[in-house]
């Protein structure tokens, strides 16, 4: 089976850096680049990226606002997002992680190191999702087995009740037969040995 090409979304308002990143990653990735985050948001569902590299200080829609929006979408709440920015202060880094970033890297960055981190995050995310699906499937199988066991138990109890009812009906039928037989004998005795009428 042919391995599917990974999709990478890159958002940065520095045109030179954006072109540099695009040229580097397009060798092994399907890449789409954006100068503004709002354009990337409009294209998110259509492109469906495996990972995102996003600048923090962006015009119109900031990096933080982009992260907030993406993480609010259930389909993309676990998509790896790397914040790549010239603002390397601790507060910026902390705010990036609080907004939902998976990694924070400062400019300038070695492209090989950036690509390695992108691949690591994609692999981790895909492995986590695969493991989650397996756990859900296992739990579903256990739940189904439990339901089937309970169903079999109920069917067994119902069958036992039916058998008991059948036995009771059978016994009652024999009793009725015996009672009728005794009634017949009694009627026969009366007809043979009943009092004769007295002579006048």
For residue range 78-116, list pLDDT tens digits in order. 899 999 998 877 888 999 999 999 999 999 899 999 999
Predicted local confidence at residue 195, as pLDDT: 54
Predicted local confidence at residue 41, as pLDDT: 95
Predicted local confidence at residue 179, as pLDDT: 63
In the 8-state DSSP scheme, what is residue 135? H
Fold (topology level) of 6-138? Rossmann fold (3.40.50)
| pTM score, whole prediction | 0.65
Give me the residue spans of the domains in the chain. Answer: 6-138
* Residues of the chain with confidence (pLDDT) below 50: 1, 200
């Amino acid at each position: 089976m042919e391995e599917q090409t990974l999709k990478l979304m890159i958002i940065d308002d520095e045109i030179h850096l954006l072109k540099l990143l695009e040229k580097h990653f397009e060798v092994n990735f399907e890449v789409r680049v954006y100068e503004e985050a709002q354009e990337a948001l409009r294209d998110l569902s259509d492109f469906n990226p495996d990972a995102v590299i996003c600048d923090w200080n962006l015009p119109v829609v900031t990096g933080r606002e982009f992260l907030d929006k993406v993480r609010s979408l259930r389909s993309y709440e676990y998509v790896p997002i790397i914040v790549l920015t010239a603002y390397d202060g601790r507060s910026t880094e902390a705010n990036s992680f609080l907004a939902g970033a998976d990694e924070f890297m400062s400019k300038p960055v070695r492209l090989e190191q950036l690509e390695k981190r992108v691949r690591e995050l994609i692999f981790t995310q895909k492995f986590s999702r695969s493991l989650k699906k397996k756990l859900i499937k296992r739990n579903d199988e256990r739940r189904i087995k439990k339901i089937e066991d309970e169903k079999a138990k109920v069917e067994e109890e119902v069958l036992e009740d039916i058998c008991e009812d059948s036995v009771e009906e059978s016994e009652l039928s024999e009793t009725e037969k015996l009672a009728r037989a005794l009634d017949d004998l009694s009627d026969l005795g009366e007809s043979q040995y009943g009092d004769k009428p007295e002579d006048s």
